[in-house]
Structures are given as structure tokens and as C-alpha cells.
Amino acid sequence: MKHLLTLFITLNLACTMTLNAQSFDRALLDNYFDSLAHHDQAMGSLSIFQDGKEVYARAIGYVDSARQVLASPTNAYRVGSITKTFTAVIIHKLAAEGSLALDQKLADYYPNIPNADRITLDHLLRHQSGIANYTAAADVESWIGEHHEPEFFLELMRKGQPDFEPGAAVAYSNSNYLLLGYIAEWVGEMSYPELLAHYVTLPLGLEHTYYGGAIDSNKGEVHSFYSTGDGWEVAEPWAMSSAGAAGAITSTAAELNTFYGTLLRGELLPAATVEEMKLLRDNLGQGLFTFPFGKRVAYGHNGGIEGFETLSAHFPEENVTITYLSNGVRLPSNDVMLAALTVYFGQPFTIPNLEPVADLPEDAVSDLLGTYASDGFPLKITISLEGGKLHGRATGQGAFPLTPDAPNEFVYPAAGIRLKFDPKNAAMTLMQAGMVVEMERE
């Protein structure tokens, strides 16, 4: 399960705060996905809910390994680490029944794991255990596709060197949630698929959310693909025992919206419990973290497994829930989600030019490269040349690609960003959603 923490560009500090679910530019969003499909830049499914009801759904790409069956919004995708939010809910349900307590020590269940006598279940939920991430093992590719019993993974954790003392830091580790799944099965006296059905999917009426198995496109399950540059290659599947309670769930975009919306409105767990889950340290809570979008803040999770990438977010103030499930990535999934949010929230958006762009020679842009800053603006922006393409990177965020638009002007349409360079004066102007920031190269 890939863990992708950098989800949304947060430069947009001047976004509007109006919202009308009926007035967003549906045709613009349709045209954007048409362009993605036409240029073969993405495969995936998007769903947007307003006030608990779906107001937009779109799928592009293919379902089957032969790329003959077109995807629809009802198809089911492997969701990877989004599974962790479900696992956190199950743990809280068991705690409410008195089957376990969050201050219990891991040693009550698995005493041979390093520091088990000092690791609590809450440490596991919050990625504060220090237990080494089993999917970071050097030989992971040799066993990830084969079924293994829990003892195989427990032995990996026993042998692993702890990353830090329990509670001393935060470090994302799939080991935490794999262990929580084993513990839930132990105290709940049910398998994880049974726990999932009992506590979540049956109460919410989720018919297409379940613990995954071998992908079967005849049942509407989607295969994932890796880009080969000019084509696509089917991704090698993981064995679901290798993902477990950390990443083995399969679902649809709409059903994930139902789950996250219901949870974060306090309708699946008590409101006080949800607030506990939302308490953050280094942006990680209990199966949740935050996604900023301008002045708005969402809670949710993301994930990646095989060639799948997943993003789910709920905006409590607006009661908007959005999920994007991808089974083929060329244009970053973050860009697709950002574009959908930009259109939905009524901000200016231009469909990017997805035609291939020739590589830029270094001598043509060398006088643009460097880090730019401005007094009174909280972020610095570093401009770099990577793989023949110009990229920008704001402080603490991921890189975003820049496309030439005019002499010394580059754009990132997904976020409505325009950068105008003045190389003679080592200066750059950032323009976004009516905001203009004059910056100088350090």
C-alpha cells in the first residue's frame, strides 16, 4: 500500500467560499474527463456527494486486462490504505462493546514484538508504535504476491528494528493496521471480512464493499495498469493476505463516499469518538488525516496498491464528500482530484493541454531555476528541471508540473497557477484565483 500524503496543492489561499451543488459546471467536468480519456492520461472513477447524495459520477478507462470493457461508476476497485479507516472503525466498535481498550498494551496479544509492553492500541491506530513497516522489507517483491499466514508477517515484525520509542514520534507503517486487524479477529471471534460486514457494510447497506480476493472482471472488479510510456501493462496483483486490515478492501467510489460521509457526520460512531479519530499529530489521526483545499479542510484517507491509487475526502463544513479511484495513472491522481474540486467549488479552471510537450533544454530555462520567496507570503516556491520538464514545489508540498504558455510564462492548469518569470531581475510573479504575489529568487 503506497502512502501518498501530499494530496492537494494548498497555494490557493484566495478561493471563494460559496457552494451550490446544483450550479457547478458539470459540462466542464465532463469535458475534462473526456480529455483525460482521449489523451489516455488516466483510468478511474470519480464520485461527488453533496448532503449525502451523489451529484456527480464519472468513470473512464477499462475494467479488464485485455482493455475491452469500458469502466462505469459501478465498478469496484482495490482501495489500498483506505482500508485503514474501516479498521479504525472496527476497533472503536469493539472498544465500545468492552472487547478491548485503546490503552491496552500490544503485549496482551503479541508479546514478542519489540517494545510490545510499551505499545498501546492507540499507538497502533495513530502510527506512533515505532514498529518497522513490513512492506518496506528489502525482499518484499519476492513474497507480496503469494498467500501467507499471519505468522509470516508477525515474524517480519519481530525481526524488524523499531524506528523509534513508542509514542516518541509518528511514522506511517502498514504493520500497525495489520496488527489491529489480527487483534480485532482475536477479540471479535470473527474473520476480518465478517467483522467488516457486521460493523460497517451491512449497517450502511454497502453491497460492493468487501475484503478483496482474486480480481474478477466478470463481477465488475477492475484490473490495474502501469504506464509503459506509450501503452499500459497489467499490474501484478498482491495476495490479499499481504494487505490484510491495512489495505485489502475493494469498493466503489460512491460507497466510499457513503462510508466517509456517514462516519464524519457522526452517524456511524458517536461524535466524541469521531473527534478522537480526528485528533492529529504530524497530520495523522486514527485512520484519518486532513486534506487542505484552499481555506477548506477535509478529512479522509488515501491509498495505493498495485497500480491502483485512491483518494477519499469529506469536507464537514460543506457536507461534501469526494472519492477518486484510479486503476491507471499517467496524470497524477492528485491533479485529477484537484481539478474536480476546483470545478465543483466554482473556482476558475481551464482544461489543461494534454498534448505531449517537447523536453526543455537546460540552457533554455537555467536562468529560471532556483527558490523564490516573498515577504508576507508563507511559502517558498522552488523551480527545478526534472526529466526535461519544469516543475514547481511549494514549501512542504509535492512537485507540480509546469507547461510553457508564453515566453517566460508557465502554467499548472489543474490548480489555476500561472508563473511569470523576469530572469533579468531574478523575479517571478505567482498568479492564482485573483491572487498576485511578487517573488524574488534567493
CB 87 within 8 A of CB 124: no
3-state secondary structure 310-377: EEEEEECCCCEEEEEEEEEECCCHHHHHHHHHHHHCCCCCCCCCCCCCCCCCHHHHHHHCEEEECCCC
Q: Which of 356, 406, 397 is nearest to 378 (CA)?
A: 397
Task: Write out the DSSP string of 6-71.
Answer: --S----TT------TTTS-HHHHHHHHHHHHHTT-EEEEEEEEETTEEEEEEEESBSSTTS-SBP
- The β-bridge relationship of strands 320-329 and 42-50 is antiparallel
Per the structure block, which three cell numbers stand in for 143? 513474497
What residue spans of 111-225 are helical by DSSP H? Answer: 121-125, 140-143, 150-159, 174-188, 192-196, 202-204
The three-class DSSP label of residue 93 is: helix
Q: What span, in angstroms and rounded, lies between the C-alpha atoms of 406 and 341?
A: 27
Whole-model pTM: value is: 0.83
Return the domain boundaries, the chain: 1-353, 362-441
Q: 1-353 — its CATH code?
A: 3.40.710.10
Residues 106 and 121: beta-carbon distance below 8 Å: yes
pLDDT in tens, 278-292: 999 999 999 999 998
The pLDDT tens digits along the chain (442 residues) read 543 333 344 444 334 444 555 589 999 999 999 999 999 999 999 999 999 999 999 999 999 888 889 999 999 999 999 999 999 999 999 999 999 999 999 999 999 999 999 999 999 999 999 999 999 888 998 999 999 999 999 999 999 999 999 999 999 999 999 999 999 999 999 999 999 999 999 999 999 999 999 999 999 999 999 887 678 999 999 999 999 999 999 999 999 999 999 999 999 999 999 999 999 999 999 999 999 898 999 999 999 999 999 999 999 999 999 999 999 998 889 889 999 999 999 999 999 888 876 777 888 899 999 999 999 888 899 999 988 889 999 887 778 888 888 889 998 876 778 899 999 999 999 998 678 999 999 9
Helix (H, G, I), strand (E, B) or coil at 298: strand
Of residues 92, 79, 150, the one with CA closest to residue 125: 92
C-alpha span between 119 and 130 (Å, rounded): 9
C-alpha cell read off for 205? 447497506
Q: Which fold has domain 362-441?
A: Lipocalin (2.40.128)
DSSP 393-405: EETTS-EEEEEEE
Please indicate whether the domains covering 1-353 and 362-441 agree at the CATH topology level: no
Under DSSP, is residue 284 helix (H, G, I), strand (E, B) or coil? strand
Q: Which of 390, 396, 381, 394 is nearest to 409 (CA)?
A: 390
C-alpha cell at 171: 511514522
Per-residue model confidence as pLDDT tens digits over 69-95: 999 999 999 999 999 999 999 999 999
What's the pLDDT at 21?
Answer: 53
Q: What percent of the chain stands above pLDDT 90?
A: 76
Q: What is the pLDDT of residue 433?
A: 67
Q: How far apart are CA 132 and CA 178, in angstroms?
A: 12
C-beta of residue 396 within 8 angstroms of C-beta of residue 5: no
